[in-house]
Structure 1
Amino acid sequence: MPLAELPSSEVLRHVVDVHCHPTDAPSILPESMEKLGITICAMSSRASDQSLVYNLAKLYPKKVIPCFGHHPWFSHLICLRDNISKEDHYRELFSTSRNEDLEALTTLLTSLPHPIPLSSIIIELRRNLQDFPDAMLGEVGLDRAFRIPYDYDASPRKLSPFTVPIQHQMAVLQAQMDLAVELHRNISLHSVKAHQPTMELLANMEAKHGTSRWNKISLDLHSCGCSSEMLKDIQRRYPNIFLSLSTVINGRSPNHLSLIKVSDPLRILVESDYNDVDMCAEQSWNMVCTVADVRGWTIETDWNENSNDPSKWGAVRRLEDNWERFKVGNHSVNRKK
């Protein structure tokens, strides 16, 4: 899909990219950050990039909302017990019944680091979130499709036969989400081939923390790939659940157009999911245009600061208002089950 032409800077500055990975790039040029015309929510995903997101947010506090957390692709690098050997942790995590799997695990063990205790992960996560009043939890989630590579940073990656057991992913995720609820922090959630476990997760979190406390925070289903019926059911049950879509992920399938159609219009957000900060504005704007087209919303060509009539708002103002609602949280608990 060709990229749409960017609007004027006075319109663009109201766009929020709710999910991107700029620190995944080898480096970020200062001039790239200086010319960035939107606000970005910069995600972390593993132990090595928490500090990178932290430092980027410190350098550019008006443009970067930091998001701290551990992605399910790296959840195997976290152990649930403090005193466990590296070999015991990975052998317990990756069951091997076939000889070829045993050989694969032996090879994989040589490249895997010593696991970090979940207790230590939560201590660092708490510190980072508390250092930034607007920080979010992200990227975290569940993924039943990802196979562990022998070397994540190699190109191309050679994949092992192993996936992270969903029970382990869930334990790591719930500990992080419990902290988010405690600190009243919003969440960017990844869910791939894990629709039923995700539904169970949401129900368990509400039951554990209570409806009122759970609805104080917002949760974004990032680059959501669920069915239209599932999204309608989720948003009917949970007033704190938002939807964000990206061209790079969701644009592969027309399903995202159906999701835009059926979503609560007050809970749609846009994202780039890009690791090149120079592309975040263009990719996010492309999704703004897609949302506007599907919903039949106009797109602002200039900005009227005194526009107080929501019926006359264009897509940018509507999406910005959705973002403000997402940020604030404290959602109404009056809904049908």
Structure 2
Amino acid sequence: MEPPSSPASASPCDEAGLYPHLVDAHCHIHEDLDFSPACWATLDRLQTRHLAVMGWRESNWDHLERLLESPWNGRQDALASPSTARPGHIGGQTALTAPTNDTDALAIHGRILPGFGLHPWATEPTVAQGPQGNRILCPPSSDPITPFVLPVDLQAVLDAMPWLGRLRRLLERYPEAIVGEIGLDRLAVDLSTQKLYDYPCQTLVFVRQWDLAIEYGRPVSVHCVKAADPLYKWVREKVQTYRRTLKQRKQRRPHPDGPAVREDEDLTDPVPVRVMMHSYSGSVDILRQILKLPGDYGRRFYFSFSATINARSPQTNARIAAVPLDRLLIETDVCDPAEVDHNMLTIARRMAQVKELPLDQMVKQLHLNSAEFFRVTDPMPA
């Protein structure tokens, strides 16, 4: 008699049938593409259905655009009308106009779910090239930068930089694009200087891109290394301040017997519509605190895991176990398209084992989660 299969087991044939359901929530397959015949042949062999490709530095945004516009991607630009490309404002939270039907959503996306942003490793060289970049990189000792505090004058400096104007144009050109990869990194060392990347500078660029995602109603993909605690505390303070101010304004009355007055038009929701903590490596405690943010804010956070980054950590299983089933995503974080399929199934198997689910059921749940996060609203493949 054959032993009973584990919840995550599947035959090779069964596993091959899972690829149409897979969505790589964070990768960089555009990074080293030379767009040669061999390159396209490699892409043609990819079985993973959708890939969220993150442009993490301005110098590779062109590569991502070229991949987006290629016949291989299958994006129908005509469906990205100007009305859907511009930011809107719904209930205090900016948002894109949703596609009118499932077919439009799939056609707009093609296979690539794009992200454009400035990674913490790319922050210093990019800011240094901008006008008055020294005000952020080398502020006077009498006026040091406070992490996460973006004064009006420094925001004006960032807004005048060419990269930020270009990022705006890309978000308007591609209504399906998210803001990413952005983030914070207090561990990585700049190989050119052998020093840690400038953390205060990172936080200012991060805050500006976070706010841009709110303005355009886009999700964000966040790189967060040794910074989950300060990020959580910053978000918590923003949420608490927003909710407190909103409550006070709702309760304000022009005179004792008059109706309540709402003055929330100038208040901005402090958190993007959805936030992915990419290849999450923070503590389980901070993860749980993020999920407990008041109102619907905790539900806006998704946690993604990869075989390439998370498999080495003994805490990975505990982190996966702590995330609600409907807030999990999987990714590869790889540059080589040939590495995507294997890595996707590897992390899917591990997640299924932790959640004690059959692999096919886990993959289908992950597809639904990805559809919600990226608004890929096409029906599940048969």
- State the TM-score bracket (shorter-chain normalisation): 0.7 to 0.9
Code of the residue aligned with 1:181 in structure 2: it is I
Measured in 2, the distance between the counterparts of 1:208 and 1:126 equals 27
- Aligned residue for 1:254, secondary structure, equals coil
Q: Which amino acid aligns with 1:317?
A: K
Q: How much has 1:163 moved relative to structure 2?
A: 2.3
Q: 1:131 and 2:177 equivalent?
A: no
User: Alpha carbons of 1:324 and 1:68: their partners in 2 closer, same or farther (altered >3 Å)?
Assistant: same
Gaps of 5+ in 1: 96-114, 151-159, 301-313, 330-337
1:24 and 2:31 equivalent? yes
1:231 to 279, 287, 298: 287
Quick one: structure 1 residues 123 and 134, their matched pair in 2 at CA, closer, same or farther if it must change by over 3 Å?
Answer: same
- Which protein shows a greater Rg? 2
CA distance in 1, matches of 2:323, 2:227: 20
What 5-or-longer segments of structure 2 have no aligned partner?
1-10, 76-109, 142-156, 247-267, 377-382
Q: CA deviation at 1:253?
A: 1.1
Contact 1:189/1:221 (CA < 8 Å) preserved in 2?
yes
SS in 2 for 1:22: coil
Residue 37 of structure 1 pairs with residue 47 of structure 2:
yes
SS of the residue 2:326 aligns to: helix
Matching of residue 92 in structure 1 with residue 155 in structure 2: no
- Residue 65 of structure 1 aligns with which residue? 113
1:323 to 359, 370, 376: 370
Q: What is the aligned partner in structure 1 of residue 232 from structure 2?
A: 199
Distance in 2 of aligned mates of 1:174 and 1:234: 18
Q: Tell me, yes or no, if the aligned pair for 1:17 and 1:281 is still in contact at 8 Å.
A: no
The one-letter code of the counterpart of 2:277 is L
Of the three residues 108, 122, 130, the one matched with 1:74 is 122
**Is the contact between residue 229 and residue 286 of structure 2 (CA under 8 Å) also seen in structure 1?**
no
User: How far apart in 2 are the matches of 1:9 and 1:94?
Assistant: 59
Length, aligned pairs only: 283
CA drift of 1:141 comes to 0.1
- Secondary structure at the counterpart of residue 359 of structure 2: coil
Q: Give the distance between the partners of 1:163 and 1:287, measured in 2 at CA.
A: 30
Query: What does 1:85-164 align with in structure 2 at a 5 Å threshold?
Result: 88=134, 92=138, 119-150=161-192, 160-164=193-197
- Matched-pair contact (CA < 8 Å) for 1:242–1:269: yes
CA contact 2:186–2:199 (8 Å) conserved in 1: yes
Higher mean C-alpha deviation, range 204-213 or range 13-22: 204-213
2:22 aligned partner = 15
Matched, 1:169 2:202: yes
TM-score by length of 2: 0.67
Identity across matched positions, percent: 24
- The residue identity in structure 1 corresponding to 2:201 is H
Indicate the residue corresponding to 1:293 in structure 2. Answer: 353
Distance in 2, matches of 1:81 and 1:117, equals 13
- Contact 2:113–2:374 (CA<8 Å) still a contact in 1? no
- Matched with 2:216 is 183
Q: Do the aligned residues in 1 keep the contact of 2:184 with 2:203 (CA within 8 Å)? A: yes
| Contact persistence 1:138–1:188 (CA under 8 A) | yes
Structure 1 residue 120 displacement after superposition: 2.0
Counterpart residue number, 2:64: 53
| Alpha-carbon shift at residue 325 of structure 1 (Å) | 2.1
Deviation by residue 1:227-283 (Cα, 9 ceiling, x = unmatched): 111111111212101000001110111211101111111100000011111111211
* CA 183–7 in structure 1, closer or farther in 2 if over 3 Å, else same: farther
The residue number in structure 2 matching 1:219 is 275
In the TM superposition, residue 82 of structure 1 has moved relative to its aligned partner by: 5.5
Confirm or deny: 8 A CA contact 2:214 2:271 kept in the other structure.
no
- Which of 296, 300, 307 is the aligned partner of 1:240? 300
Structure 1 residue 24: Cα displacement: 2.2
CA distance in 2, matches of 1:77, 1:131: 25
